[in-house]
Amino acid sequence: MPIPPKEVEALIEALSRSWDGRATGEEKDAIEAFVKKHGSAGVEVLMQVSSVHLELERLVESSRVYDLAMDRVRAVARLDEIADRSADLALSELPPRRPLLQSRLTKGAIWVAAAALIVAAVVPWAIQGSDRQTASVTQSPQFQLLRPSTPAARVVGLENATWVDGDDISVGSNLKKGRRLELSTGQAHLSMVCGADIVLQAPCVVTLNADDEVRLLNGTITAQAAKWATGFVVLTQDLRVTDLGTRFAVSTDRSGVVEAHVLQGEILAEPMKHRRPRHSSMLLESGQAIRVDPFRSSINLMAARNEDFGAEIEDFRPLRPIPMWNTGVGLAPGDTDPHWRLVSGSKQHGPYPRGSVVTPGDTGSYKDNKPEASQWISVEEESYPGVPPESVHTFEATFELDGYDLDTVYVVGQFLVDDAINDLRINGRSVPFNRWVTTWDEFDFKSFHPIEILDGFVEGTNVISIDVYNSPSNPKTPSDFNPTGLRVEWQAFGREKR
C-alpha cells in the first residue's frame, strides 16, 4: 500500500527540523516510528529525501567555490533547476516539497551531518536488512539473487579500429556491463543504453560500469547525450563527470592527469575526495574545462580546447530505453498486477482472462521479492494448495513501440519460474531459448535466466505471452496440487526512426 501523503509530509517536516538542529525527542522518535511502520518502503522514502538534500548541499557548495569562474546569479538559478529536477525524479510520488533554496541556503553544512546522523543513529538496522516483514524489526539475513550481466552499450561505428582481446567486437555488437575495452588503433563509436553516445579515440581503455556509466582508464572519449540521458557519468581516477544534457570530452593518461572539456551544454565536475579534502563539485558550461594534476596536487579551471576533439555527431541516433513492466513492481502481496494478466490456465482458477496476483510464494524456496524491482506473481496470493500438476498457465504483458526503428530493438527478460516455461511468444511468434525446469527436489530459484527477443516486433502494441508449466509434486504424491509462479525483469532499448 502507498504511504499516505500526510505521513510523508510529517516525515519531511521532522527531518527538516533535525537538519536545522531543532528536532525534539518526540520528532526523532517519529522518524524511527515511520521507518518501523513502513519497513523497506519507509527506508526508501527516508533515503530519497536525504539524498536530495545531500545533492543540494554539494551543488550549493560548488557555486561558492566557482564564484570567480562564472556568473553567480546565473549559476544559482541553474542549480535551482537541477535541484528541482533531482527532487522530481527522486520523489515523483511524494507531495510537493517546500522551498529549500532560501537565504543563500545557509543550512548546507547542517544537512550533511544531520542526514548521516539520522541514518546511522535512527535506522542502523534498516541499511543492513530492510527487506523484511514490516510487523517485525528483527534483522534477518539478506538473500541476494544472481542476475546475469545485461548490455551496457552497442557498437554503432568503427573506423580503422583494432582491439586488444576484442575479436568479437563489430558494428551491431551489444557489449555487456563490466566489459573492459582496449582500443589500440582507430576510433570506435558506442551508443550507451541510457541514450548517450561515446566516441573512443585510440589508444583508449574504458570499462563499461553500467548502461549509464563508464570508467576511463586511459585515452580520450567524447560524449554526446540525448535529453533523456541526463545523468550519464564518466569516471576517472581523480574526476567524476556527470552529463547535464550536453556534449563533452574527457581525457586522461597513465600519469593520472585528467581533463574534462565542455563542448556544448553543461556538466557537473567533481574532483575525488582524495584530491580535495572537502568534497566539492563544479558546474561547467560550454567553453569551460577543468584539469586535475595529481603530481602537482592541483585543480585548475581553463578554457575548453574544442579543436582537439571530434565534431558533433551528425547522424545522432542514440539508443532509447523502452518502458516495460517487471512483474509485481510497486505492489504488495495479494495485489492484482494490472500489467500482467492470466489468459488461460487450470479451470479451478478461471474464468479467463483475469489478473495475476503478487505472491510471496513458496517462502521456503522463493527469495528476495523486491517491490522496487520485481516480485513473484501467480494465480493467487497463497502458494498452497497451488495448482494441478501438469497444468499450464499463460501470462501476458504488453508494451508499446511507437517511433522506434524495429530493426534496432532489443529486449531481454531475466526469468525465475516455478516450474518451467514451455513457450514464450512475441505477437504470437515463438522465441527460441534453452528451456530449464525446476522439480520437486531440485529448485532453481537462485539465479535469473535470460531470454533474448531479437525480432518479431510490430509498430504500436506488442504482446508477450509466457506459458508456465507446473510439474508434478513429490513422486509419493504425484497428483497433489503445488505452487506455480513467475518473476520477470526486463531490459529493452532501440533507436528512434530517422
The string of pLDDT tens digits covering residues 423-448 is: 999 999 999 999 998 877 777 788 89
Instruction: Please tell me the number of Cα atoms within 13 Å of 34 on its side-chain side.
Output: 29
Percent of the chain with pLDDT over 90: 54
Predicted local confidence at residue 274, as pLDDT: 55
Least confident of 24-38, 63-77, 134-148, 320-334: 63-77
What's the pLDDT score for residue 465? 99
When pLDDT is cut at 50, 70 and 90, the band that residue 141 belongs to is very low
CA distance 249 to 69: 19
H or E stretch at 343: strand 336-344
User: Any idea which residue has 577543468 for its cell?
Assistant: 290
271-309 residue pLDDT tens? 976 555 555 789 999 999 999 998 888 899 999 999 999
Q: Is the pLDDT of residue 328 over 70?
A: yes
Q: How high is the pLDDT of residue 17?
A: 67
Look at residue 382 in the predicted model and tell me its pLDDT.
Answer: 87
Res. 462: pLDDT tops 90:
yes
pLDDT at 105 over 80: no
6 has a pLDDT exceeding 80: no
353-360 contacts at long range (C-beta below 8 A, 24 or more positions apart) = 353/396, 356/327, 356/395, 356/486, 357/381, 358/327, 358/328, 358/331, 358/332, 358/333, 358/334, 359/333, 359/383, 359/485, 360/333
Residues 6+ apart with CB under 8 A from 331: 337, 358, 371, 375
Tell me what the mean pLDDT of segment 98-106 comes to: 33
Q: pLDDT tens for residues 381-439?
A: 988 888 999 999 999 999 999 999 999 999 999 999 998 999 999 999 999 999 998 87
C-alpha closest to that of 216 among 299, 317, 292: 292
Domains recognised in the chain with CATH numbers: 5-129 (no CATH), 151-319 (2.60.120.1440), 322-495 (2.60.120.260)
